[in-house]
């Protein structure tokens, strides 16, 4: 995680992004390309991700405000 990026403090080393959330069914994230597509398709500049944290053995939703490009 880039310490100066929009996910700083929201994602930790070891976190696994499992899906992008939005209208309709969650979209599985299995590659960097799928994550890129989810970020590019973010509505209102916010991407919602389902994240699994192996350290705590929990899943959570992380909403990331993407910077204007």
Vertex 62: Cα angle to 58 and 67 (nearest 5): 155
Query: Each residue of 3-54: pLDDT tens digit?
Result: 888 999 999 999 999 999 988 789 999 999 999 998 888 878 899 999 999 9
**What size, in residues, is the chain?**
69
Q: Which residue has the higher pLDDT, 59 or 24?
A: 59
What does the DSSP 8-state code read for residue 56?
A: T
pTM of the model: 0.85
């Amino acid at each position: 995680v880039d310490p100066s990026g929009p996910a700083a403090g929201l994602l930790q080393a070891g976190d696994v992004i499992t899906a992008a959330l939005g209208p309709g069914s969650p979209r599985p994230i299995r590659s960097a390309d799928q994550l890129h597509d989810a970020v590019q398709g973010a509505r209102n500049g916010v991407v919602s991700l389902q994240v699994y944290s192996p350290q705590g053995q929990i899943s959570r939703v992380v909403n990331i405000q993407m910077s204007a490009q």
